[in-house]
Amino acid sequence: MSTQDPADPGPSPDPGDPTVQLPTATGLAGPAVQPLLELEGVSRVYGEEVEIYALSDVSLQIMPGEFMSIVGPSGSGKSTMLGLLGVLDLPTSGTVRIAGQDVSALDDPKRSRLRGQSIGFVFQQFHLIPHLSALGNVETALLYRDIRPRERRQRAFEALDQLGLGARADHRPVQMSGGEQQRVALARAIVTEPLMILADEPTGALDSANAAHVLEIFAGLGTPERAVVMVTHDPTVADTALRKVSMRDGRIVADERRVA
Amino acid sequence: MSATRDLVGVAWTGLMARKVRTLLILLGPIIGVASMVGAVGLTESAKGALQVQLATLGTNLIIAQAGGTFGSQNPTLPGDAVRRVDSVSSVTSAAATTNLSGVISVPVQGASTYYEAFPVPVRAADDSLPSVLQVRLIDGRWLDSADRVLHLRSVVLGSGIAKQYGYLPGETRTIRLNNTNFGVVGVLGKVPLDPTLDNAAFVTQWAAQHVFDTNGKPNELYIRTKDGTTAATATVLATAINLGGPDQVSTQVPSNVLAAQAQANKTLQKVALFAGLLVLTVGGLGIANVMSISVIQRSSEIGIRRAVGHSRSKIGAQFLLESLFVGVLGGVLGALIGIAVVYLVSSLEHWVVEIGYGQIPIWMGLALLVSVIAGLYPSIRAARLEPLETLRLG
């Protein structure tokens, strides 16, 4: 699956993300920029006898380079939104496209690969695997991708080092503070060089100092090709983003942009 | 290939992260395989010494006995039976013995009452008997031509009788046979192929005829044959001995009985194997149980793995591989423990270790099969977990 020349397997300069099979964001450069992620008339219904619309007829486009937040009170449908944006769930009706690809048309292995390659998750509860070291947790995101263990470790270590955790690579989650754990989770999200970082209440379990630090990192994660999306109920967190999508009762009620 | 390598790494790390839990579920296959290897090994080893002994004794000894006709009290073989047997080309050596019924052997004065009630069999024997039996003398010497020619009243004791009489090696001992004194000149070693000889006292053919007034006709012949001809020789011996005469002859190959004894107790083995199988099955239930709980405990891990792009089948394979490792590891450890137990017990009991190494892969394969089957359900559950539910978003 590597895009590297098979005749030249040596450690030549890495031509970008070797794992991405889809059209990469860089490959999309041109006058008509394609949305990274697109929701078109999406509804998500739970329950069979009594139907509950968690999301009804939502349309949304996320463009490369965007730093946005999705905000709303609990029950507004933002968790459902997160599941659909992260391809952890499928819509009952409507279409979800990632880089133009309809996710409902894919089988589980392909959808899983698409998820792993295009989306980096950050969760409120960090969700690190407790029996693995920080390095092992970051490496988890690089498994089953035809990467040699040595290279996998190298890339995982670089991601940790980038977030100032190089010295703690061998530590288990229990040996680290909440802020450190969230940075490990961030390293895990960025190590695959995804098209989109999708964060669920990334500061929800942190004290204000750590929260500010993590938000700062978030703001810096965006690149011209990559979008950063935070789902939160906290208006102050939401306000740090350049685009704010507000939700209520399973619908988008506002979509505001501000200039940095 | 690399996906398999990654999978093996993930499954192994998962197992090693919970060592106590892993050890507990390993116990099923370990005990199951160990008990099966041990059961077969111990029952075989217990008989192994007998098999080795059988090999040294040889399986080419035939005992020919006078069958007698109805009503005859003490059936005999023709007087020249040994010569007749020697004429059979496959016979290498032969020796005769004669039962001297009515001869009472008394080891010490005043003990006659007991020995009259429980008489020790006294037999007249040829000079060649020990060499035909391939048995050494524990003490002293066997009867020889000097005893016959010089009319010495010599007696050799069977090993059992020597013990019963309290005979000490090298002791000068006189015992009484029908009120005639006989000097003990030796003690015959144990005769595993015919234990009746251990409980007999032996005198010369001269003594039989002249001291106890018998006709000198033998009752029993011990015959060695060329290797591989034993069974065939045994069938023709009767005719060779009686040459169509009225004497009934029956032959037996005593090593056959010993060989049957030397067979491991198959029933015991089956029971033990069944018990091992039971342990393995119960162990399998244990694996299924613990793995199912483990899937629930690790639901968050499963959710994370799904979120970072591991497919359902990879998650299922990860858990199935953990069960498979349990089967392999349990099988190997169980086999090693089983072998160690067989060696330990055999050295304590002075047995000759006999382990059917050919069977061990079967038990190990069985442990593997049970473990994989036990892991199927938890693996399917793990694969079916919805990441959205396990990650508790929002």
Each domain of chain B, given as residue ranges in start order, spans 2-54+263-390, 60-262
| Exposure string for B336-357, b = 16+ CB within 10 A, e = fewer | ebbbebbeebbeeeebeebbee
- Measure A79 CA to nearest chain B CA, in Å: 5
CB contact under 8 A, B309 and A116: yes
pLDDT over threshold 90, residue B308: yes
pLDDT per residue as tens, chain A (260 positions): 444 444 444 444 444 444 444 444 444 444 467 899 999 999 999 888 888 889 999 999 999 999 999 999 988 988 899 999 999 999 999 999 998 899 999 999 999 999 999 999 999 888 999 999 999 999 999 999 999 999 999 999 999 999 999 999 999 999 999 999 999 999 999 999 999 999 998 888 888 888 898 888 888 888 889 999 999 999 988 998 999 999 999 999 999 998 76
pLDDT for res B78? 86
| Residues in CB range of B189: below 8 A, 6 or more apart | B135, B136, B137, B138, B159
CA–CA gap between residue B31 and residue B37 (Å, rounded): 10
Residues of B in contact with A117 (CB under 8 A): 309
Residues A34-257: name the CATH superfamily: P-loop containing nucleotide triphosphate hydrolases (3.40.50.300)
State which residue of chain A sits closest to B7, comparing Cα positions. A144
pLDDT for res B242? 81
- Measure B319 CA to nearest chain A CA, in Å: 15
CA–CA gap between residue B159 and residue B137 (Å, rounded): 9
CA–CA gap between residue B288 and residue A46 (Å, rounded): 32
- pLDDT category at B393 given cuts 50, 70, 90 is low
pLDDT for res A24? 44
pLDDT over threshold 50, residue B189: yes
pLDDT for res B264? 67
Q: Does B258 touch chain A (CB under 8 A)?
A: no
State which residue of chain B sits closest to A76, comparing Cα positions. B394
CB contact under 8 A, A112 and B311: yes
Nearest beta carbon to residue B309 from set A89, A113, A136: A113
Q: Does B20 touch chain A (CB under 8 A)?
A: no
- pLDDT category at B364 given cuts 50, 70, 90 is very high
Instruction: Determine contact, residues A251/A58, Cβ cutoff 8 Å.
Output: yes
Tell me the pLDDT tens digit for each residue of B341-351: 999 999 998 88
CA–CA gap between residue A53 and residue A74 (Å, rounded): 14
Which segment of A141-155, B157-171, B316-330 scores lowest on mean pLDDT?
Answer: B157-171
Nearest beta carbon to residue B393 from set A113, A188, A200: A200
Q: Does B348 touch chain A (CB under 8 A)?
A: no
pLDDT for res A250? 92
Tell me the pLDDT tens digit for each residue of B24-36: 999 999 999 999 9
- pLDDT category at B394 given cuts 50, 70, 90 is very low
State ipTM.
Answer: 0.85
Instruction: Determine contact, residues A67/A241, Cβ cutoff 8 Å.
Output: yes
CA B10 to chain centre: 48
Angle, in degrees to the nearest 10, between helices B312-349 and B360-384: 150
CA distances, B298 to each of B3, B9, B17, B157 (Å): 22, 17, 12, 78
Which segment of B103-112, B264-273, B291-300 scores lowest on mean pLDDT?
Answer: B103-112
Higher pLDDT, B70 or A105: A105
pLDDT for res A260? 66
Size of interface A-B (CB pairs under 8 A): 88
Q: Two tokens at B155?
A: 């007696």
CB contact under 8 A, B388 and A140: no
CA–CA gap between residue B33 and residue B333 (Å, rounded): 8
Residues of A in contact with B9 (CB under 8 A): 149
CB contact under 8 A, A88 and B391: yes
Residues of A in contact with B14 (CB under 8 A): 131
The residue to which tokens 């010495």 are assigned: B152
pLDDT for res A4? 44
Nearest beta carbon to residue A121 from set B3, B17, B307: B307
pLDDT for res A147? 92
- Measure B22 CA to nearest chain A CA, in Å: 14
- Measure A161 CA to nearest chain B CA, in Å: 20
Neighbour tally for A237: CB within 10 Å = 22
Q: Report the share of chain B in percent with pLDDT over 70.
A: 97
Tell me the DSSP string of B100-147: -TTPPEESSTT-HHHHHHSPPPEEEE-TTHHHHHT--EEEE----HHH
CA distances, B348 to each of B144, B160, B262, B342 (Å): 42, 26, 20, 10
Radius of gyration of chain B (CA): 35
Residues of B in contact with A79 (CB under 8 A): 393-394
pLDDT for res B355? 87
pLDDT for res B68? 62
CB contact under 8 A, B388 and A116: no
Nearest beta carbon to residue A112 from set B2, B309, B394: B309
Sign, Cα dihedral of B267, B273, B277, B282: positive
pLDDT for res A191? 95
Q: Does B10 touch chain A (CB under 8 A)?
A: yes
In chain B, the DSSP E strands lie at 61-66, 91-99, 105-106, 122-125, 137-140, 154-157, 174-177, 180-188, 201-203, 220-225, 249-252
- The secondary structure of residue A166, as a DSSP letter, is G
CB contact under 8 A, B304 and A128: yes
Q: Does B314 touch chain A (CB under 8 A)?
A: yes
CA–CA gap between residue B141 and residue B153 (Å, rounded): 14
Q: Does B21 touch chain A (CB under 8 A)?
A: no
pLDDT for res A74? 86
Nearest beta carbon to residue B394 from set A74, A109, A140: A74
- Measure A125 CA to nearest chain B CA, in Å: 9
Q: For an interface test with A, which of B6, B7, B21, B393 has the most A Cβ atoms less than 10 Å from its Cβ?
A: B393
- pLDDT category at B266 given cuts 50, 70, 90 is confident
pLDDT for res B278? 92
Q: Two tokens at A49?
A: 């006898």
Q: Show the DSSP H helices in chain A as ranges.
A: 78-85, 108-118, 134-140, 149-162, 178-190, 208-221, 235-239
pLDDT for res B360? 93
Residues of B in contact with A78 (CB under 8 A): 394
State which residue of chain A sits closest to B383, comparing Cα positions. A108
